[in-house]
């Protein structure tokens, strides 16, 4: 059996070398494996929590889709889609929201960090915190659980979110009494490198120290690499490869042999400028062909759109039946599938109480009665009588009918005929199956009444 691997990519910002090495490249490689059924999607609903700039959201979605495709993602093999094209995800988010403890969300790192920051600044604890940020983990759980993903590869900062998804899944399973959701497992890629950025700290948009993957083209890539901070050793002086960002980045692209040659060159005193050129050329060898397809894709957004629409179709073929199953399980059922009366009768514990009549006066002063089952389901409504005694006489006769009762099947109801005259009718049912079930309950009730006589 294939393992379903799923991960989301928040569509803010423009992909950089750190994203490529740390997330895109390993994910693309994993998607080629035959034992993996990969689901990769753009978390553009999550992006809205971080950005309210429509142009940026639009651009980032496009750039990120093009990046993943250019990096070798095969949309035939992988289910590649946008979160916002799957309406089942926000629907499931609400179902999960209703079983998620608020206290669980209070403990989410990102929310707590915002609260701590506010508290330190003497502000209201929730100042500037949207409900979107607060709900972030539930939306993420829905992303995962809608597809029953087994493995979720993420960065370390996301571990808590996967744990919360498991928590929420377990709670839902427990409340509704079935294993609706597989419990997702977090996968941390230990061997993938985290790249240092221009200043030596982890490459990250929040440090503004990134080297772009495609943006700006070859020239910009080279210029940015030339800005990597080094120590002040001169050409001819030995450099320490293990404390050099250049070497760490180089190694993330190169083979063992290439890496040891570069290490030797540094030890032998290659100048930093020259070393940066070596690094640039090595990266460019990998990036150039990808950049070419990236540019081609960016020039034809309609092609990307078509690929994503195909992906959404594949994804919805899985999420839609899942959510339909859940709707049914939680009681959001079609009124047509089960008539309210039948549902009540099914749900109520079977009592041994005998059927009973209930008489009443109609608005126009006439007399009628209903026959109820012991469970309280309405079985029959009599015709109107001017004289209450006539109504009472009919009740008496009905009690004696037993299996001699003549029940005429109307389209979605039944009628009781006596002496060729329709004297009582059942409620209208929502479909024939429900009507037929009601018929057998009515027969049983009439038998029970006759047995008492």
Contact residues for ligand TRP, defined by CB under 6 A: 6-8, 10, 43, 46, 140, 143-144, 152, 154, 158
Cβ closer to ligand TRP: 149 or 275?
Answer: 149
**Structure token digits, residue 32:** 């080629």
Cβ closer to ligand TRP: 205 or 356?
Answer: 205
Question: Which helix (H) or strand (E) is 169 found in, with range?
Answer: helix 159-176
Residue 270 DSSP SS3: coil
Residue nearest to ligand TRP according to CB distances in the complex: 8
Rounded to the nearest whole angstrom, what is the least distance from the CB of residue 116 to ligand TRP in the complex? 20
Cβ closer to ligand TRP: 152 or 442?
Answer: 152
Rounded to the nearest whole angstrom, what is the least distance from the CB of residue 40 to ligand TRP in the complex? 9
- Report CA torsion sign: 268, 270, 271, 273: negative
Rounded to the nearest whole angstrom, what is the least distance from the CB of residue 43 to ligand TRP in the complex? 4
What number of CA atoms fall less than 13 Å from residue 173's CA on the CB side?
A: 14
Cβ closer to ligand TRP: 60 or 341?
Answer: 60
Spatial separation of the C-alpha atoms in residues 386 and 74, rounded to whole Å: 78
Cβ closer to ligand TRP: 152 or 438?
Answer: 152
Rounded to the nearest whole angstrom, what is the least distance from the CB of residue 51 to ligand TRP in the complex? 13
**CA gyration radius, the chain:** 34
Backbone angles phi, psi at 96, to 5 degrees: -70, -40
Spatial separation of the C-alpha atoms in residues 39 and 150, rounded to whole Å: 11
Rounded to the nearest whole angstrom, what is the least distance from the CB of residue 100 to ligand TRP in the complex? 16
Rounded to the nearest whole angstrom, what is the least distance from the CB of residue 25 to ligand TRP in the complex? 16
What's the per-residue H, E or C state across 299-344? HCHHHHHHHHHHHHHHHHHHHHHHHHHHHHHHCCCCCCCCCHHHHH
The answer to whether 181 and 173 have CB atoms below 8 angstroms apart is yes
**CA-closest candidate to residue 146, choices 328, 2, 323:** 323
Spatial separation of the C-alpha atoms in residues 365 and 385, rounded to whole Å: 9
Look up tokens 């997702």; give the residue: 184
The answer to whether 446 and 402 have CB atoms below 8 angstroms apart is yes
Rounded to the nearest whole angstrom, what is the least distance from the CB of residue 262 to ligand TRP in the complex? 31
Cβ closer to ligand TRP: 314 or 443?
Answer: 314
Rounded to the nearest whole angstrom, what is the least distance from the CB of residue 31 to ligand TRP in the complex? 15
Cβ closer to ligand TRP: 129 or 154?
Answer: 154
Cβ closer to ligand TRP: 141 or 307?
Answer: 141
């Amino acid at each position: 059996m294939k393992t379903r691997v799923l991960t989301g990519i928040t569509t803010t910002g423009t992909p950089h070398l750190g994203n490529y090495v740390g997330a895109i490249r390993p994910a693309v490689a994993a998607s080629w494996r035959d034992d993996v059924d990969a689901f990769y999607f753009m978390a553009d609903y999550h992006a809205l929590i971080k950005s309210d700039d429509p142009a940026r959201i639009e651009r980032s979605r496009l750039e990120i889709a093009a990046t993943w495709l250019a990096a070798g993602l095969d949309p035939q093999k992988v289910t590649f889609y946008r979160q916002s094209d799957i309406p089942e995800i926000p629907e499931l988010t609400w179902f999960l929201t209703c079983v998620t403890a608020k206290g669980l969300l209070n403990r989410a790192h990102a929310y707590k960090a915002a609260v701590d920051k506010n508290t330190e600044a003497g502000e209201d604890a929730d100042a500037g915190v949207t409900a979107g940020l607060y709900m972030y983990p539930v939306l993420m759980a829905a992303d995962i659980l809608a597809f029953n993903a087994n493995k979720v590869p993420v960065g370390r900062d996301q571990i808590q979110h996967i744990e919360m998804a498991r928590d929420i899944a377990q709670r839902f399973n427990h409340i509704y009494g079935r294993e609706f959701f597989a419990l997702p497992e977090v996968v941390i890629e230990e061997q993938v490198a985290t790249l240092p950025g221009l200043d030596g700290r982890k490459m990250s948009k929040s440090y503004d120290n990134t080297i772009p993957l495609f943006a700006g083209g070859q020239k910009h890539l080279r210029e940015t690499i030339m800005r990597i901070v080094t120590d002040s050793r001169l050409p001819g002086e030995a450099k320490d490869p293990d404390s050099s960002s250049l070497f760490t980045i180089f190694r993330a692209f190169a083979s063992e042999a290439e890496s040891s040659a570069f290490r030797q060159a540094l030890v032998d005193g290659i100048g930093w400028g020259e070393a940066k050129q070596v690094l640039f050329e090595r990266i460019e060898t990998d990036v150039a062909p990808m950049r070419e397809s990236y540019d081609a894709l960016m020039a034809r957004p309609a092609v990307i759109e078509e690929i994503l629409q195909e992906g959404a179709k594949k994804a919805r073929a899985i999420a839609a039946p899942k959510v339909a199953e859940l709707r049914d399980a939680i009681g959001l059922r079609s009124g047509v599938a089960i008539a309210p009366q039948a549902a009540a009768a099914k749900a109520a514990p079977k009592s041994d109480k005998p059927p009973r009549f209930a008489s009443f006066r109609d608005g126009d002063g006439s007399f009628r009665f209903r026959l109820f089952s012991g469970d309280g389901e309405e079985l029959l409504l009599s015709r109107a009588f001017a004289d209450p005694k006539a109504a009472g006489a009919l009740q008496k006769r009905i009690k004696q009918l037993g299996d001699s009762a003549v029940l005429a099947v109307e389209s979605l109801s039944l009628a009781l005929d006596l002496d060729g005259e329709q004297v009582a009718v059942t409620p209208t049912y929502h479909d024939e199956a429900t009507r037929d079930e009601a018929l057998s309950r009515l027969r049983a009730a009439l038998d029970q009444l006759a047995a008492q006589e």
